[in-house]
Structure 1
Amino acid sequence: MNITIIHAAMTHDKENGYRGSVQFEVEGHKHPYEVSLQLNSIRGTTWDYSLHFAKDPGPEEDMNKVEAAIEQDDDLFDYLIDAAAQTLPDEEEEQA
């Protein structure tokens, strides 16, 4: 699945852990997506995420394809996390 990052951001604080979002386009899809990410350092090292359309709603079938790709392709999921983590100041990026 070919994706293009439109925008990425991440913040970190002790209370909420790491929180980020990545807006991206998928080749062949008409509507961009956004994935919201959270890593709560109290709960462990597993990233939680939520996928939704970034702007206008699109076909559920397209959303399901992207969701399946994120679930099955660790490299894709890591790419999205890395895109957000790159927006952190250097000292916090090392901890992500």
Structure 2
Amino acid sequence: MPTLDEEEQMVMPLVVRHVNEGEWRAVGERGLAETPRNRLMIALGAILEDCPPDERREFLARLPVAARVMWKVLGQRQYRRETRRIRGRHTSV
């Protein structure tokens, strides 16, 4: 069974070749729409945790100001609490 990193290395080049920007955006919007509101900051933290710092900054810059403020004020703490509960350790996000 491939790891998540291996899957990403295999799948993302195919996505780039076969899925246009609008289709990829629709995938993200559908995922966002299906995420329960009380889990949105957890989902954002999971996305940001695996991003290199430059991608993290770019991703956050594209969010609405309200979402960035929520992430800073509530989301980071909520995500750390969730990862501690699951992993038993602190995360860097």
Q: TM-score range by the shorter chain?
A: 0.3 to 0.5
Greater strand percent: which structure? 1
Q: Could you state the TM-score of these two structures normalised by the residue count of structure 1?
A: 0.32
Greater helix percent: which structure? 2
Q: Could you state the TM-score of these two structures normalised by the residue count of structure 2?
A: 0.32
